[in-house]
């Protein structure tokens, strides 16, 4: 069995996800940007919330929690490292810990960089990883609290997952990410094709998430600091991967 996963647009450009285990009826929400769309989706499907998985402390990922719990009590799981600045946790987890949604078992990956204490949740049997503001479709989160080296190491852990893994990230930033990616990797035909596809998907009002890791490995510049064409384009052929990654990240910050 694998989790049935629903993408729930929230606020202006956030995504929450409902992950439902039909074997047990357990249902988790991953991040809680706001309550109403999540409660609506639960009601529409007749699902009862069992778990809340929080990726990091930013308001646009937790602000709906209190209201959701008032209507749909559930156990709350988040990073032990961030327990002091997250809403009250029932289970505090760290890298390598197991998390269950009914009969499905996931694993916590520390993906610090955007914040220190940001975690991702990988469910191998469902081929899904919830990455929020670490790895995003054609992008990665801005490095607010960690260092570029830390973000690079976090993305490397995600890049090592099976290539068919679907990446469920926290925001709809893909169109801007594609435009930026083209500036550092202009001759990548797969990136050009994906950019066209994204334009069509967004024009139809559809989410561009999830995206497969295989697709990200071929087109996301933040996973491609080793790529000779990108290095040549940046004039950084002799630099380390971390230096190239840091340069791409700082160009994106100014984009
Ligand atoms: Zn954030
Ligand atoms: Fe965010």
Position 185 scores a pLDDT of 98
Half-sphere exposure of residue 49, counting CA atoms within 13 Å on the CB side?
28
Residue 73 has pLDDT above 80, yes or no: yes
**What would the two tokens of residue 86 be?**
């997250």
Across the range 56-76, mean pLDDT stands at 98
Position 101 scores a pLDDT of 98
Position 42 scores a pLDDT of 98
Residues around the ion ligand 1 (C-beta < 5 A): 58, 133
Position 32 scores a pLDDT of 98
**Interval 47-56: pLDDT, tens:** 999 999 999 9
Position 112 scores a pLDDT of 98
Helix H or strand E encompassing 152? helix 148-159
Position 88 scores a pLDDT of 97
CA of 194 relative to ligand 2 center, distance in Å: 23
**Interval 94-105: pLDDT, tens:** 999 999 999 999
- Closest ligand, as measured to the CA of 10: 2
Which letter does DSSP use for residue 34 in this model? -
Banded pLDDT at 16 (limits 50, 70, 90): very high
- Closest ligand, as measured to the CA of 118: 1
Residue 92 has pLDDT above 90, yes or no: yes
Residues around the ion ligand 2 (C-beta < 5 A): 60, 133, 170
d(CA 55, CA 115): 10
Spell out the domains of the chain, with CATH numbers in brackets.
Answer: 4-254 (3.60.15.10)
Across the range 86-112, mean pLDDT stands at 98
Give percent of the chain above pLDDT 90: 100
Q: Is the peptide bond before 210 cis (omega within 30 degrees of 0)?
A: yes
CA of 150 relative to ligand 2 center, distance in Å: 18
**Interval 190-245: pLDDT, tens:** 999 999 999 999 999 999 999 999 999 999 999 999 999 999 999 999 999 999 99
pTM of the model: 0.98
Residue 159 has pLDDT above 90, yes or no: yes
Across the range 58-65, mean pLDDT stands at 98
At 242, phi and psi to the nearest 5? -65, -40
d(CA 167, CA 208): 11
Across the range 121-141, mean pLDDT stands at 98
Residue 1 has pLDDT above 90, yes or no: no
Across the range 37-63, mean pLDDT stands at 98
Task: For residue 238, give every residue at least 6 positions away whose Cβ sits within 8 Å of its Cβ, in sequence order, or none.
Answer: none
- Closest ligand, as measured to the CA of 169: 2
Banded pLDDT at 30 (limits 50, 70, 90): very high
Query: For the stretch 148-172, what's the b/e string if a residue is b when 16 or more beta carbons lie within 10 angstroms of its beta carbon?
Result: bbbbbbbbebbbebeeebbbbbbbb
């Amino acid at each position: 069995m694998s989790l049935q996963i629903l993408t729930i647009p929230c606020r202006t450009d956030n995504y929450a996800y409902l992950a439902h285990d039909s074997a047990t009826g357990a249902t988790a929400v991953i991040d809680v940007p706001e309550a109403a769309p999540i409660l609506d989706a639960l009601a529409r499907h007749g699902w009862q919330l069992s778990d809340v998985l929080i990726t990091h402390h930013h308001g646009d990922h937790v602000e709906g929690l209190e209201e959701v719990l008032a209507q749909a009590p559930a156990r709350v799981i988040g990073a032990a490292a961030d327990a002091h600045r997250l809403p009250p946790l029932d289970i505090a987890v760290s890298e390598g810990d197991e998390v269950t949604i009914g009969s499905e078992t996931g694993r916590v990956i520390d993906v610090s960089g955007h914040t220190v204490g940001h975690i991702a949740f990988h469910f191998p049997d469902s081929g899904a990883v919830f990455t929020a503001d670490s790895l995003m479709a054609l992008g990665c989160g801005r490095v607010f609290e960690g260092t570029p080296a830390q973000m690079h190491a976090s993305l490397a852990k995600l890049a090592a997952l099976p290539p068919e893994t679907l990446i469920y990230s926290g925001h709809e930033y893909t169109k801007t990410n594609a435009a930026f990616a083209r500036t550092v990797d202009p001759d990548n035909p797969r990136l050009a094709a994906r950019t066209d596809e994204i334009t069509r998907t967004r024009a139809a009002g559809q989410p561009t998430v999830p995206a497969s890791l295989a697709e990200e490995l071929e087109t996301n510049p933040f996973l491609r600091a080793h790529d000779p064409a990108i290095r040549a384009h940046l004039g950084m052929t002799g630099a380390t991967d971390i230096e190239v990654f840091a340069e791409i990240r700082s160009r994106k910050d100014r984009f």
